[in-house]
Amino acid sequence: MARDRKIIEERGIPEYASVQDFPDPDITHGLVFCSTNGYVYGIVNGQWAIRSTGDGWRDITGYINVDEAGANAFNLNIFRGGNVRQYSGAVGDKIDMVYHIPHDYEMNTDMYIHHHWSHNGTAISGNLNATYSFTYSKGYNRGIFGVEKQIASLLPTANVASFPRWGHQITEHQLSKAGGSATNLDNAEIEVDALLLVNFTIDAIPTITGASMTPGEPFILTIDLHYKSTDVGTINRNYPFS
């Protein structure tokens, strides 16, 4: 909470000993800080509500990079209707992403990676399996991109009732943890302004019939990161950040 307290002082957020001491939300606006529980509050629907607990979740939305001329490129296919298109992939197809660690990342907390996907078939069965390959480095010449790690994503797709046509599916895996592992980054190494480079390769796709392409392929809509946020930025723009 020391870092948050410094930011609160820098931003001039009013401090109160308890929630009962807060001003009337009908005649004020902005943020307030409760020194008893260490939370920042804001007004939501006319009432004071916690805005920062030190462990709120946010997304880093990934932009999918496709090697259009590559032998293992995803294809831009009709998803629904006659105009809406998204990228779909077959076995061996690859996409790449870059993630920038934002200034509200809460240090030493877990991160999770997840892909949003769908299909437009009338029937589906089998597995959607993929491999996440990734490397990470701090910024400001404070490290190098490390040895590539991999996470295997294995998902059985039982039937179209469980995975409906045009349904929005999310499959998530832990990317980092305390101490790290052969397949996870070490939380202690992750910091603001670092970069995470990710490759997503399809290893197996379910049988999809009645789709807009033959054979049917799953659509990978986006690949995002879940991270814990302090709900406030860093004091300094560049390293050292606080």
pLDDT for position 229: 86
The verdict on residue 188 lying in a domain is: yes
The verdict on residue 235 lying in a domain is: no
pLDDT tens string 90-116: 999 999 999 999 998 988 999 999 999
Residues 65 and 107 both lie in one domain: yes
Residues 101 and 29 both lie in one domain: no
Cα–Cα distance between 99 and 26 in angstroms, integer?
A: 40
Which structural domain range is residue 84 located in? 57-229
Strands 169-174 and 112-118: antiparallel
Residues 48 and 120 both lie in one domain: no
**Confidence tier at 40 by pLDDT (50, 70, 90):** confident
Cα–Cα distance between 86 and 77 in angstroms, integer?
A: 6
The verdict on residue 73 lying in a domain is: yes
The last residue of a domain, from among 53, 71, 95: 53
Residues 34 and 75 both lie in one domain: no
Q: What is the mean pLDDT of the chain?
A: 90
The verdict on residue 241 lying in a domain is: no
Domains held by the chain: number: 2
pTM greater than the 0.85 cutoff: no
Percent of the chain past pLDDT 70, that is, above it, reads: 91
Cα–Cα distance between 55 and 45 in angstroms, integer?
A: 22
Query: Is residue 54's pLDDT more than 60?
Result: no
Residues 109 and 21 both lie in one domain: no
The verdict on residue 238 lying in a domain is: no
pLDDT for position 2: 46
Residues 187 and 215 both lie in one domain: yes
